[in-house]
Amino acid sequence: MRVMVVEDDDDLRLAVATELAGTGLRVDEAADLATAEAALTAGHYDCVVFDRMLSDGDSVTYVHRRRQLGWAVPVLFLTARDTLADRVAGFAHGGDDYLVKPFAMAELTARVLALGRRRGGRRPSVLRHADLVVDCARREVRRAGVLLTLTAKEFAVLEYLLTRPEQAVSRTELIEHCWDSRTDPMSNVVDVVVRRLRGKLRQPELIHAVRGHGYRLGESRTST
């Protein structure tokens, strides 16, 4: 799941990005609407967290304009404005959720995860394949009924592969959705995480290497 955090307070932006990344999300950052616009136009995001008032404008106005053009990415507004009129304006102009500062990081994370799962109504909260069950809301993974302990990055990779069962997923695609923009696409971080993940999932093998491409979650095939 890929998230954009748009906040002009450097300390708060870093704190939010670090908290979200700690759950295994890929998090990109922007300090103003102009930077956010360039990233949102170029990339795919599952949720965007906007500070309400930014140095170059009101994010509510920006979101409203993009909604009129058909933009459908879920949006969470962060703001110090806590009046009913402010909250209503946020929802009326295209916001999906509204969190007043100061807020608990755990609540922010839960809301972002919920918005990401809700996008397009396509992703269920519980993903299954064979005897593997992944509860995305509780961040729990079970295989044959046994609870497994995964790192945040292992969970993110497994969740993404589960949304594309029996499909070959490239290393580049995994980096784009599970790591931040600072990750070197030529590094071996994907292979390291997948190797650990395969060991924790045990036999029979569920994640298979696709030669020269990446990985696939599903049944064994002699051609991979």
Count, residues in the chain = 224
Q: DSSP assignment of 11-65, as one string?
A: HHHHHHHHHHHTTT-EEEEESSHHHHHHHHHHS--SEEEEESEETTEEHHHHHHH
Q: What is the pLDDT of residues 49-69, one digit of tens each?
A: 999 999 999 999 999 999 988
**What does the pLDDT average to over 155-164?**
90
Q: What is the mean pLDDT of the chain?
A: 86
Model pTM?
Answer: 0.63
| Tokens, residue 187 | 């590094």
- Cα–Cα distance between 222 and 224 in angstroms, integer? 6
What is the pLDDT, as a whole number, of residue 121?
46
What is the pLDDT, as a whole number, of residue 120?
46
Q: Which domains does the chain have, with CATH numbers?
A: 2-121 (3.40.50.2300), 126-217 (1.10.10.10)
Q: What is the pLDDT of residues 71-124, one digit of tens each?
A: 889 999 998 877 778 778 888 888 999 999 989 999 999 899 888 876 644 556
